[in-house]
Amino acid sequence: MTRKNDDEVIKKIKIAMAEMGLNQSMLAKKLGVKPNTISQWLSGTNSPKIDTLKKIAKATGKPVNYFFAEVKGNNNAVGHGAKVGVPADVQKDIKLLSAQVELLTVKMQLMEKEIKALKKSQCIYPTGDEG
**pLDDT tens across 82-110, in order?**
344 566 777 777 877 887 888 888 888 89
C-alpha dist (Å) from residue 32 to 10, 49, 70: 19, 14, 28
3 state DSSP class of 21:
coil
The pLDDT, as a whole number, for residue 125 is: 56
- Reported CATH class of domain 3-124: mainly alpha
What would the pLDDT profile of 11-67 be if each residue is shown by its tens digit?
Answer: 889 888 888 888 999 999 999 999 999 999 888 888 888 888 889 999 998 888 888
Beta bridge partners of 75: 80
Under the banding of pLDDT at 50, 70 and 90, the label for residue 129 is low
